[in-house]
């Protein structure tokens, strides 16, 4: 066993010994589970995922730090709970390229492009140029029928279309995070999470503007 594995096992033991020191935000790992469960039964709940988009940006712009990512991110908490507390993670260091700047920013651009495609498809449906597609796409290519998740007629088609597209995006990114959690350290996803990359960039801009303003 190498030094990194020893350190990782030590963190696991300390976490198990400190269960009585839990805070309310330690249970935010439940949020992703609730979110995906609600979307499974009614796809319109997918809109709640916008909180995971907007709140980190609000934290970064208003406060100037990554407090949301470090403390309040439900997805990060879930990976910690499964990977560290339930010992699903191998605890190995991820390949260096996952931490590289080119990969982090490249993945962010790709992620934003896919989000843009969701918005564009929503626009087409809203304008009548396209019909509603009641399916969830995993890994941006595997289409899974999701008809039972939407009671027809309760919302405009464009609202529903965005729900399917955004739920697909959230589910795909969660699956990627779970895979790298199992292969490497629990929160490996956080090293290249698009929201984390964006909030980090915002924080750097704030620091530079403050320095220049002095």
Tell me the angle at which helices 194-213 and 101-126 cross, rounded to the nearest 10 degrees: 110
User: What DSSP designation does 157 have?
Assistant: H
Strand extents, DSSP E, 72-151: 135-138, 142-145
* Class of residue 136 by CB neighbours under 10 A (exposed 0-12, middle 13-18, buried 19+): buried
The yes-or-no verdict on residue 134 having pLDDT over 50 is yes
3-state secondary structure of 135: strand
pLDDT of residue 5: 47
- pLDDT band with cut points at 50, 70 and 90 for residue 96: very high
The domain limits of the chain are 28-213
pLDDT tens, 109-118?
A: 999 999 999 9
pLDDT tens, 81-93?
A: 999 999 999 999 9
**Alpha-carbon span 117 to 69, nearest angstrom:** 25
**What pTM did the predictor assign?**
0.87
**Alpha-carbon span 182 to 77, nearest angstrom:** 14
**Alpha-carbon span 182 to 22, nearest angstrom:** 24
pLDDT tens, 144-185?
A: 888 889 988 899 999 999 999 999 999 999 999 999 999 999
């Amino acid at each position: 066993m190498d030094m990194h594995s020893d350190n990782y096992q030590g963190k696991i033991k300390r976490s198990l010994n400190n269960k009585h020191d839990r805070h309310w935000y330690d249970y935010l790992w439940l949020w992703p589970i609730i979110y995906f469960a609600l979307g499974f039964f009614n796809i319109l709940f997918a809109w709640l995922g916008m909180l995971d988009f907007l709140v980190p940006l609000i934290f970064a712009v208003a406060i100037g730090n990554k407090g949301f990512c470090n403390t309040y991110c439900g997805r990060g908490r879930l990976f910690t709970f499964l990977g560290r507390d339930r010992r699903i993670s191998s605890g190995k260091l991820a390949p260096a390229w996952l931490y590289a700047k080119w990969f982090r920013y490249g993945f962010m651009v790709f992620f934003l492009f896919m989000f843009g495609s969701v918005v564009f498809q929503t626009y087409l449906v809203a304008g009548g140029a396209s019909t509603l597609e009641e399916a969830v796409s995993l890994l941006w290519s595997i289409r899974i029928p999701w008809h039972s998740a939407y009671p027809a007629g309760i919302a405009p088609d464009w609202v529903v279309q965005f729900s399917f597209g955004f739920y697909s995006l959230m589910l795909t990114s969660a699956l990627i995070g779970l895979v790298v959690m199992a292969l490497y350290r629990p929160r490996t996803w956080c090293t290249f999470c698009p929201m984390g990359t964006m909030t980090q960039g915002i924080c750097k801009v704030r620091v530079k503007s403050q320095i220049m303003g002095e």
